[in-house]
Amino acid sequence: MATAARSLAIGLGVPLVGVNHCVAHIEIGRYATGCSDPVVLYASGANTQVIGYLNKRYRIFGETLDIGIGNAIDKFARSKGLPHPGGPAIEELARKGGYVDLPYTVKGMDLAFSGLVSAARECRAPIGDVCYSLQETAFAMCCEVTERALAHTGKEEVLLVGGVGANSRFEEMLSQMCADRGAKLFVPERKYLGDNGAMIAYTGKIMLESGYSVPLEESYVNPSFRSDQVEVTWRHDDPGERIRDKPLDQITRATGAEAEVLLGDLFVEKRRVRKLYRQQELDDRLIAERTRAEARLIASSRKEGVPTPVIQDITGTTIRMERIYGSLLKDSLSPGHLEEAGRTVGKLHTAGIVHGDLTTSNLIMREERCVLIDFGLSLASSEIEARGVDLHVLFQTLESTTDNFSELKEAFTRGYEHTFSGAAEVLGREREIEKRGRYL
The span from the CA of 144 to the CA of 292, in Å, is 19
Q: Helix, strand, or coil here: 80?
A: coil
Query: How far apart are alpha carbons 94 and 169 in whole angstroms?
Result: 10
Rounded Cα distance between 259 and 255, Å, is 6
Q: Give the whole-angstrom CA distance, residue 234 versus residue 44.
A: 25
Distance between CA atoms of 281 and 132, rounded to whole angstroms? 13
Radius of gyration of the chain measured on its C-alpha atoms: 22
Distances (CA, A) of 414 to 74, 222, 300, 363, 391: 43, 33, 25, 17, 13
Pairing of strands 39-43, 379-380: unpaired
Catalytically active residues are: 357
- What percent helix, strand, coil does the chain show, rounded to 5? 50, 15, 35
Short-list 173, 317, 182, 186, CA closest to 258: 317
Residue 220 sits at φ, ψ, to 5 deg, of -160, 165
Q: b/e per residue, 407-437, with b = 16+ CB within 10 A?
A: ebbebbbebbbebbeebeebbebbeebeeeb
Q: In what order do the strands lie in the sheet containing 363-366?
A: 327-328, 363-366, 369-372
Q: Cis check for the bond before 85: say yes or no (omega within 30 of 0).
A: yes
Nearest Cα residue to 142 out of 59, 42, 240: 42
Contact predicate 438/63, CB 8 Å: yes
Helix (H) or strand (E) holding 400: helix 384-401
* Alpha helices, H only, 124-229: 127-153, 168-181, 190-193, 197-209
Which residues make beta-bridge pairs with 371? Answer: 364
